[in-house]
Amino acid sequence: MSDALRAHIAALVPELTALRRDLHAHPELGYAEHRTSAVVRAWLDGLDVPYRAGLARGTGVAAYLPATTADGAARPPIALRADMDALPIDEATGAPYASRSPGVMHACGHDGHTAILLGAAKVLSGLADRPNPVIFLFQPAEEGGAGGKRMVEEGALAGPDGLAAAVVYGLHGWPDVPVGHVATRPGALMAACNRFDIVVTGRGGHAAQPERTADPILAAAHVIVALQSVVSRNVPPGDAAVVTVASVHAGSAFNLVPAAATLSGTIRAFASDVYALLTRRIDEVARDVAAALGCEATVRWDTGFPATVNDVAATDRVVATARAALGADRVDAAFPPTMTAEDFAYYGQHAPACFFFLGVRDPAAARWPQLHQADYDFNDDAIAVGVELMVRLALALAPAMGDTTLR
């Protein structure tokens, strides 16, 4: 099958590249992916692949492709996932297909993920023999909106016959991995995360009379410094954790002490007890440090994402599939865990799952932009590899591959 499959995918690459660049030019934020969702539905309509639309606040799509054999019809489906949303960033790639929406861009490569999964749907729908049913998950709002959680809650992991997915696979373009390579690991791959907002409230007044104020900026500054001790002095050295204050807002004039200051940031950890420790200590440190300087601190927490934990058997399947397709020297099966987070984690709470990193870095390039940077762009050279791996994974877990010739 390999030669015919690769030839077919290679023939599709120009179409998929054009599709990816169209999505890139029209980015949409989480839960507002209306055009993107329409593009996905139109593509599936062209393939005669049935789907459920309107999921996860309206833009999520779950498509279903049945097996072609009687015994395959009784098997639980294999689920493949892509995310569709963009980020609130002004694009600086200079590409001719750059974002046409000011302040919004595909800085995380979800345009590439969507194009890859649509390509896989086209290839799989054209196979004469599909040993497994396949679910294609096109989810909104991965970037902080927990769209994956809503997809699961609305039954996207089950086929029309009610059979739940046997396994879920997802990929992410990864700038630290060369194009043509794949990386993953069993167990914890990506961290649990949460957002915090700390509002430090004091007493405002004239900057020339600081003795009459309770300066929230001063208190906030001390809180920021004290929070750096949470990891270094509370978390055991063998455990990984991150506390980052990434946003500070206070005041509107150079000669006025404001009444309040707001700090926003994130925590990251793999272990649940460490995650709970970070939450508790940030509350305590912020409150007590602010109080020592005559202010009050209130900490607000978001819902957060759980850790992305790869099932061992599902990861073994990804590694074996990738090695067969790419060669053993192009597959890293022990990639270091990363403190970035992913709402793919929600799928893994309901079915065996494996998330893997698809290389997008050009090895010849002196520098390759990282995710969430204004000059990041998905590498179209990774599309064919992503499609092939998704197709192969959809055909795996069957007792026999059968006739997988293309119609």
**Hunting for tokens 């946003």 — which residue is that?**
247
- The average confidence (pLDDT) of the chain is 95
Name the region of 170 (left: φ>0; alpha: ψ -120 to 50; beta: rest): beta
Q: Is 335 exposed, middle or buried (0-12, 13-18, 19+ CB in 10 A)?
A: middle
CA-derived radius of gyration, the chain? 24
The answer, yes or no, to whether residue 405 has pLDDT greater than 70, is no
Angstrom distance (rounded) from CA 139 to CA 80: 11
Q: 185 and 205 share a domain?
A: no
Q: What is the pLDDT, as a whole number, of residue 283? A: 98
Q: 31 and 92 share a domain?
A: yes
Specify if 89 maps to a domain: yes
Structural domain ending residue among the three candidates 286, 301, 316: 301
Specify if 8 maps to a domain: yes
Could you report the per-residue pLDDT of 4-30, keeping only the tens digit for each? 899 999 999 999 999 999 999 999 999
The answer, yes or no, to whether residue 73 has pLDDT greater than 90, is no
The answer, yes or no, to whether residue 240 has pLDDT greater than 80, is yes
- Tell whether pTM > 0.85: yes
CATH number of the domain encompassing residue 72: 3.40.630.10
Could you report the per-residue pLDDT of 76-129, keeping only the tens digit for each? 999 999 999 999 999 999 999 999 999 999 999 999 999 999 999 999 999 999
User: Do the beta carbons of residue 342 and residue 188 sit within 8 Å?
Assistant: no
Q: Is 78 exposed, middle or buried (0-12, 13-18, 19+ CB in 10 A)?
A: buried
Question: Long-range contact list for 4-8, CB < 8 A, 24+ apart?
Answer: 4/405, 4/406, 5/123, 5/388, 5/391, 5/392, 5/404, 5/406, 6/384, 6/388, 8/123, 8/126, 8/406
Closest CA to 24 of 35, 11, 32: 35
Q: 27 and 174 share a domain?
A: yes
What pLDDT band is residue 406 in, cutting at 50, 70 and 90? very low
What pLDDT band is residue 1 in, cutting at 50, 70 and 90? low
Q: 183 and 205 share a domain?
A: no
**Hunting for tokens 């050009």 — which residue is that?**
362
Closest CA to 196 of 123, 120, 287: 287
Please count the structural domains in the chain. Answer: 2
For residue 205, give the amino acid letter: G
CATH number of the domain encompassing residue 247: 3.30.70.360
Specify if 400 maps to a domain: no
Range of the domain at 42: 2-190+307-395
Q: What is the pLDDT, as a whole number, of residue 401? A: 33
Could you report the per-residue pLDDT of 25-53, keeping only the tens digit for each? 999 999 999 999 999 999 999 999 999 99
CB atoms closer than 10 angstroms to residue 39 = 20
3 state SS of 39: helix
What pLDDT band is residue 189 in, cutting at 50, 70 and 90? very high
Q: 211 and 201 share a domain?
A: yes
Structural domain ending residue among the three candidates 271, 286, 301: 301
Cα–Cα distance list, 191 to 241, 266, 271, 342, 382 (Å): 9, 12, 9, 8, 25
Angstrom distance (rounded) from CA 92 to CA 211: 46
Could you report the per-residue pLDDT of 204-216, keeping only the tens digit for each? 999 999 999 999 9
What pLDDT band is residue 402 in, cutting at 50, 70 and 90? very low
Specify if 406 maps to a domain: no
The answer, yes or no, to whether residue 397 has pLDDT greater than 80, is no
Q: 103 and 137 share a domain?
A: yes
Of 69 and 141, which is predicted with more confidence?
141
Q: 72 and 197 share a domain?
A: no
Percent of the chain with pLDDT over 70: 97
Specify if 405 maps to a domain: no
Structural domain ending residue among the three candidates 301, 321, 349: 301
Closest CA to 247 of 227, 232, 262: 262
Could you report the per-residue pLDDT of 291-334, keeping only the tens digit for each? 999 999 999 999 889 999 999 999 999 999 999 999 999 999 99
The answer, yes or no, to whether residue 239 has pLDDT greater than 50, is yes
Q: What share of the chain is helix, strand, coil (3-state, %, to 5)?
A: 35, 25, 40
